Amino acid sequence: MTAPTISTEGLRELLERGAPVTVLDVRPPAERAEWSIPGSVHADAYEALRRGDPTVLADFHPTNGDRVVTVCAAGKTSMLAAECLRARGVDAVSLEGGMRAWSLAWNTAEVPCPGSSARIVQLRRTGKGCLSYLIGSNGDAAVIDASLDPHVYQRVADTNGWHIRTVLETHVHADHLSRARALAVETGARLCLPTTARVSFQYAPLKDGDTLRVGSAGLRVLNTPGHTPESACYLLNERALFTGDTLFLAAVGRPDLEATTDESRHRAHVLHASLQRLVALPPETVVLPTHTSAPVAFDGQPISATLREVHERTSLLRENEETFVSQILTRLPPTPPNHHRIVALNEAGTLPDDPTELEAGANRCAVA
Ligand SMILES: [Fe+2]
């Protein structure tokens, strides 16, 4: 017997519309701790399923409606779980491709931006923690840090009556494959990057102080090196700040990726200066980072905070330069998996056929 499957897009749509479904995660606890589907329940059944234990999942009952979607890392053990539940009369299906495929799942939230001539939609890659943004004003739109398939941005832009004219990156990314170039090619939009010699494709270079127009809104470039040498932030109408991986909601960017120990120390000093520049902006400024460290719920709530809140939560922002540098260098998390290969592909502007193979694993761009 083979249980039916559901695709990532199928499950994404069920969760987006709040349909009753119990998502049952059967991975080992350590894998679940790394990343999971919001609202899912866990059964530590992986080993028992693999050895064909007939009593496995005997105590499991759906907690939200009758339908169950079983999940594992790649969609094989979850198939055993679905078969086992179906033998007991439970309406169970297996998530095709497992958590690896789920890394492409997404949802959206509108970011309130009072008094602004633009609207902001936050696109959240819930299975990976990548955040990207669609800014719309007077029928025109810009996308910042595209990490999803280009058709997703086009679909959301179409829904809002926007035409994507500009695609921007805050920096060369190390833990997801950029979809910016592909999006620019597909939409005919202008591809803009902070000025850098790192990439080998054509782009419109941005420099500190430049202001891009998006409809009637203005997007000002702030060079904020440190996380990477070319990192920049974009300030929308002096109210919303797209911080890339320079500043998160309770952490700062790591300065060590693709750098030697000496370079990391230098970059940490530079990052301190960049962050001091950001915290001098008005405290009501809305901070919108490119990554989050937890799975993103299908709740329509934006992942954002005011600069005042970020400052209160992030002790590193309040340290003097020497303390900041020594603390950040001792608190570095493990490097993201495959980051050398991801950076090489992002510098070349190419996308492999199956990006999820390289992108597996949690985001690790932040130091808290
Ligand atoms: Fe980054």
**CB 265, CB 287: distance < 8 Å:** no
Domain co-membership, 111 together with 96: no
Specify the pLDDT at position 26.
97
Distance 3 CA to ligand 1 centre (A): 39
Specify the pLDDT at position 61.
93
Domain co-membership, 113 together with 83: no
Phi and psi at 343, nearest 5°, equal -60, -45
Last residue of a domain, one of 102, 119, 153: 102
Residue 115, pLDDT > 80, answer: no
Specify the pLDDT at position 338.
87
Phi and psi at 39, nearest 5°, equal 85, 0
Domain co-membership, 235 together with 255: yes
Domain co-membership, 35 together with 139: no
Going by C-alpha positions, the residue among 322, 354, 321, 316 that lies closest to residue 338 is 354
Last residue of a domain, one of 102, 136, 169: 102
Domain co-membership, 117 together with 98: no
Instruction: Show the 3-state SS of 54-118.
Output: CCCCCCCCCCCCCEEEEECCCCCHHHHHHHHHHHCCCEEEEECCHHHHHCCCCEEEEECCCCCCC
Q: At 328, which amino acid appears?
A: I
Domain co-membership, 115 together with 98: no
Domain co-membership, 40 together with 183: no
Distance 253 CA to ligand 1 centre (A): 7
**Which residues, other chains included, contact 319 with Cβ-Cβ below 8 Å and sequence gap of 6+?**
327
State the pTM of this model.
0.94
- CATH of residue 225's domain is 3.60.15.10
Domain co-membership, 158 together with 25: no
Domain co-membership, 261 together with 153: yes
Distance 227 CA to ligand 1 centre (A): 7
Residue 36, pLDDT > 80, answer: yes
Distance 120 CA to ligand 1 centre (A): 21
Percentage with pLDDT > 70 across the chain: 98
Q: Which residues surround ligand 1, an ion (CB under 5 A)?
A: 245, 365
Specify the pLDDT at position 10.
97
How many domains are there within the chain? 2
Domain co-membership, 128 together with 90: no
Last residue of a domain, one of 45, 79, 102: 102
Domain co-membership, 84 together with 176: no
The mean per-residue pLDDT over the stretch 231-242 comes to 97
The mean per-residue pLDDT over the stretch 100-118 comes to 91
Query: Domain span at residue 93?
Result: 5-102
> How would you class 2 by CB atoms within 10 Å of its CB: exposed for 0-12, middle for 13-18, buried for 19 or more?
exposed
SS3 308: helix
Distance 356 CA to ligand 1 centre (A): 17
- CATH of residue 11's domain is 3.40.250.10
Domain co-membership, 314 together with 208: yes
The mean per-residue pLDDT over the stretch 246-251 comes to 97
Task: Report how far apart, in Å, the C-alpha atoms of 33 and of each of 28, 60, 99 are.
Answer: 9, 20, 13
Distance 334 CA to ligand 1 centre (A): 14
